[in-house]
Amino acid sequence: MLNKVKTYIDTHKLLRSDGRYIVGLSGGADSVALLLILKELGYYVEAAHCNFHLRGKESQRDEEYCINLCREQSIKLHLTHFQTTEYAELHKVSIEMAARTLRYNYFETLRQDIGADAVCVAHRRDDSVETVLLNLVRGTGLRGLMGIRPRNKHIIRPLLACSKADIEAYLAVKGQAFVTDSSNLVADVKRNKLRLEVVPTLKEINPSFDETIMKMSENIGEAEKIINASLRNAFSSIVSVENGNAGTLFSQLQEGTPKLALPNLRIDIAALQSYVSPEYFLFYLLIPYGFTSPQVRSIASSLSSETGKEYITDSYTLLFDRKMMLVSQREKTAPKPLELPETGKYIYSEQCSVEVKEEVVDSSFTIPTATNEIVVDKTKVHFPLVLRRTVTADRFRPFGMRGSKLVSDYLTNLKVDAVSKRKQLVLVDGNGEIMWVVGRRSSETYHIGSTTTTALRIRFLSSKTADI
């Protein structure tokens, strides 16, 4: 048993001989075996026990068992208590999800507090087999068929090579007692139903069923390495990241669904179509953005769609725009038009403000060259001004031109993408005429002339001048 675990640890480079590790200790057979095995193998370990207060006296029994075991083994024990039911109700999640979230959040906080290298948890081969079957029943891609991985950031699983029988035999030889969670003996949740009913039936067909599944998962894991190398090589030629790096995003996606907001994207449709599997590439890229499998399949079959076709998730929008697909963070609410009744400084949104001030046109007066600032003849301006997003019928007289032009056509000529078009701001005079397509061009109507004596200097302050 010790050799099996040591070989698995060495093969997957899970632990260092000089490392400091936390073992998640429930008191059950698996976690007790993990704690004792790692100690026997010479690793420095401390234990952490979570009391979720879900099983009355059993929860207290488990805690007392862990205290006594760690005292006997001279292993430091960290204890914590959770009001799991209240947490689940407050966050509107299942009891199982609440316990999982509380447990892993605690483990990570403890790991950082004591400077441990990682947290070791006692998932075994049977757990990984059940995970594969659960994913298969629900519907999954390659990653779901790989089962539980030996490492996930700071969570390590040294017992994945061991079966339940291996663990119980090890504990029997050592004469080590353990506690049993009675809820695991009832087929009242999907995983327990698989464990108690489905897997035994499959083992009647193939007694080595669990070993077969684990070997399949390992083979898929090796195949995924080849697929990931292909995705990495193609990624930067297909995807460009707004204010970021495609390589950095790829690394984020490799680690699983990121918790932080993902960046806006431009997907080159022609480059995507030349990839060996456009649909698989889109699954890899878009699922973390919240797009569903049916949505991704629809997108993959619509790569020749005309500009304007759109797909929406709770947080993101994918929009077809000429030769590109644009993925951008979805606005909860669009900023309302802002009225400017007189000169002064006004806040349009958390991201931007606009300032209007009067200036004398004399020898020191300068015409701005920055795109976020214009000057206009004050005598031609009618207050109140209005700052708002452009609408379909908006027209203006671009500076230097005699006639008028649709703002949408003007932006199209500049090759402005569809998402930026939707967010384009215009400053409108009190008579309804557009004075400025913000950040791009002012109107000829309000230009400074040879007879101008007083000007208005209008400055737009934002982290992104033209795209709010």
Per-residue pLDDT tens listing for the chain (468 residues):
999 999 999 999 999 999 999 999 999 999 999 999 999 999 999 999 999 999 889 999 999 999 999 999 999 999 999 999 999 999 999 898 999 999 999 999 999 999 999 999 999 999 999 999 999 988 887 888 999 999 998 999 999 999 999 999 999 999 999 998 766 544 457 888 888 899 999 999 999 999 999 999 989 989 999 999 999 999 999 999 988 899 999 988 887 655 567 999 999 999 999 999 999 999 999 999 999 999 999 999 999 888 889 999 988 999 999 899 999 998 877 789 999 999 999 999 877 899 999 999 999 999 999 999 999 999 999 999 999 999 989 999 999 888 999 999 999 999 888 888 988 999 999 999 999 999 999 999 999 999 999 999 999 997 554 444
CA distance 253 to 286: 10
Contact 405, 398 (CB under 8 A): yes
Alpha helices, H only, 206-287: 209-238, 246-254, 269-274, 278-286
Joined together, the tokens standing for residue 392 give 């379909």
The pLDDT, as a whole number, for residue 183 is 61
Q: Is the pTM of this model over 0.85?
A: no
Per-position DSSP letters for 118-181, written without gaps between them: EEE----HHHHHHHHHHHHHH---HHHHT-S-SEETTEE-TTTT--HHHHHHHHHHHT------
CA distance 158 to 117: 14
Dihedral of the alpha carbons of 322, 324, 325, 331, in degrees to the nearest 10: -80
Residue whose structure tokens are 């709010």? 468
Sign of CA dihedral 148, 153, 155, 157: positive
Largest distance between two CA atoms of the chain: 102
The pLDDT, as a whole number, for residue 188 is 52
Per-position DSSP letters for 368-401, written without gaps between them: --STTEEEEEGGG--SPEEEEE--TT-EE-BTT-
Joined together, the tokens standing for residue 451 give 């007879």
CA distance 422 to 392: 10
The pLDDT, as a whole number, for residue 335 is 86
Joined together, the tokens standing for residue 341 give 């009744």
Per-position DSSP letters for 218-241, written without gaps between them: HHHHHHHHHHHHHHHHHHHHHEEE
Contact 466, 352 (CB under 8 A): no
Give the CB-side neighbour count of residue 103, counting CA atoms within 13 A: 21
